Amino acid sequence: MFNWALFATLLAVVVIMLGAWTRLVHAGLGCPDWPGCYGFLTVPQSESSIAIANARFPDTP
Protein backbone atom coordinates (compact mmCIF):
# COMPACT_ATOMS: atom_id res chain seq x y z
CA MET A 1 0.00 0.00 0.00
CA PHE A 2 2.88 2.37 0.76
CA ASN A 3 4.28 1.88 -2.77
CA TRP A 4 0.99 2.98 -4.35
CA ALA A 5 0.81 6.05 -2.15
CA LEU A 6 4.39 6.96 -2.99
CA PHE A 7 3.75 6.44 -6.71
CA ALA A 8 0.60 8.58 -6.61
CA THR A 9 2.40 11.35 -4.74
CA LEU A 10 5.31 11.38 -7.18
CA LEU A 11 2.95 11.35 -10.14
CA ALA A 12 1.04 14.31 -8.70
CA VAL A 13 4.29 16.25 -8.22
CA VAL A 14 5.35 15.52 -11.81
CA VAL A 15 1.98 16.68 -13.17
CA ILE A 16 2.15 19.89 -11.13
CA MET A 17 5.72 20.59 -12.27
CA LEU A 18 4.86 19.98 -15.94
CA GLY A 19 1.88 22.29 -15.63
CA ALA A 20 4.02 25.02 -14.09
CA TRP A 21 6.67 24.63 -16.80
CA THR A 22 4.02 24.78 -19.54
CA ARG A 23 2.61 27.97 -18.06
CA LEU A 24 6.01 29.63 -17.56
CA VAL A 25 7.17 29.06 -21.14
CA HIS A 26 3.78 30.20 -22.52
CA ALA A 27 3.21 26.87 -24.25
CA GLY A 28 -0.45 26.57 -23.29
CA LEU A 29 -3.47 26.94 -25.51
CA GLY A 30 -3.09 29.35 -28.38
CA CYS A 31 -6.70 30.54 -28.22
CA PRO A 32 -7.35 33.60 -26.04
CA ASP A 33 -11.05 32.96 -25.40
CA TRP A 34 -11.22 29.24 -24.60
CA PRO A 35 -13.41 27.15 -25.12
CA GLY A 36 -13.92 29.09 -28.32
CA CYS A 37 -11.04 30.09 -30.51
CA TYR A 38 -11.06 33.69 -31.73
CA GLY A 39 -14.85 33.62 -31.65
CA PHE A 40 -15.13 30.34 -33.57
CA LEU A 41 -15.80 26.79 -32.42
CA THR A 42 -12.55 25.57 -34.02
CA VAL A 43 -9.30 27.23 -35.04
CA PRO A 44 -9.92 29.51 -38.05
CA GLN A 45 -8.40 28.09 -41.24
CA SER A 46 -9.86 30.06 -44.16
CA GLU A 47 -8.66 33.51 -45.16
CA SER A 48 -11.98 35.13 -44.30
CA SER A 49 -12.13 33.50 -40.86
CA ILE A 50 -8.57 34.56 -40.13
CA ALA A 51 -9.40 38.14 -41.16
CA ILE A 52 -12.39 38.16 -38.80
CA ALA A 53 -10.24 36.75 -35.97
CA ASN A 54 -7.58 39.42 -36.60
CA ALA A 55 -10.25 42.12 -36.44
CA ARG A 56 -11.70 40.76 -33.18
CA PHE A 57 -8.33 40.25 -31.45
CA PRO A 58 -5.89 42.82 -32.88
CA ASP A 59 -3.38 42.43 -30.02
CA THR A 60 -2.84 38.69 -30.46
CA PRO A 61 -0.97 37.00 -33.33
Domain boundaries, the chain: 1-28, 31-61
> Which of 12-16, 35-39, 44-48 is least confident?
35-39
Average pLDDT over residues 6-34: 84
Measured CA to CA, the distance from residue 3 to residue 53 in angstroms comes to 50
The residues near 22 (Cβ < 8 Å, ≥ 6 apart) are: 28
Average pLDDT over residues 4-29: 88
Residue 46 or residue 31, greater confidence: 46
pLDDT given at position 21: 87
pLDDT above 90 for 10:
yes
- Sign of the dihedral defined by the CA atoms of residues 22, 50, 59, 57, in that order: negative
> Which of 4-8, 33-37, 42-46 is least confident?
33-37
